[in-house]
Amino acid sequence: MQLTLLYAQCYRDDNNYIIWAEARLHAMRDAKFRQHVNALCLQKRDMIAYFIEQLCERLNIQLPGPFADHALAVIALLDGILYFNMTMPNDLSNASAEAILSNVLTKMFCNAPVLTET
């Protein structure tokens, strides 16, 4: 699944995550900087929403609610797993993290209703 691959390629780098976390904290205190960080976060959200939309079209399914909302949930899940791995690195291997992501995302798409032609 492309979203699991995104995690494997982009989210495993602890250094980048730490920089992003620091940027988010700084953005909370600086409104002008927040605009720039928000633009980057929305860009990532839109990219993931596009992946989700394309997958739904390919599977002929419909998720409840906007794709952008599902993308935010995916980002939260990815961020949470990475944060957990950073603080407790011996408790969740990369292979296990990818398997969990794959399982959760598979359930998200497998439980969605199939679109019917009208």
Rounded to whole angstroms, the Cα distance separating 19 from 109 reads: 32
Closest CA to 3 of 91, 111, 116, 100: 100
Higher pLDDT, residue 108 or 9: 108
pLDDT at 2: 60
The pLDDT of residue 35: 97
Sorting pLDDT into bands at 50, 70 and 90, what band is 105? confident
Distance CA 69, CA 111 (A): 17
Average pLDDT over residues 24-32: 96
pLDDT of residue 117: 62
In terms of Cβ atoms closer than 10 Å to its own Cβ (0-12, 13-18, 19+), residue 110 is exposed
What is the pLDDT, as a whole number, of residue 87? 84
**According to the model, what pLDDT value does residue 37 have?**
94
**pLDDT tens-digit profile of 75-98?**
998 888 888 888 888 888 888 888
34-47 confidence digits (pLDDT tens): 999 999 999 989 99
Collapsing DSSP to helix, strand or coil, 115 comes out as: coil
Average pLDDT, the chain: 84
Task: Choose from 68-77, 82-91, 97-106 the range with maximum mean pLDDT.
Answer: 68-77
Q: Are 26 and 33 in contact (CB under 8 A)?
A: yes
Strands (E) across the chain are located at none
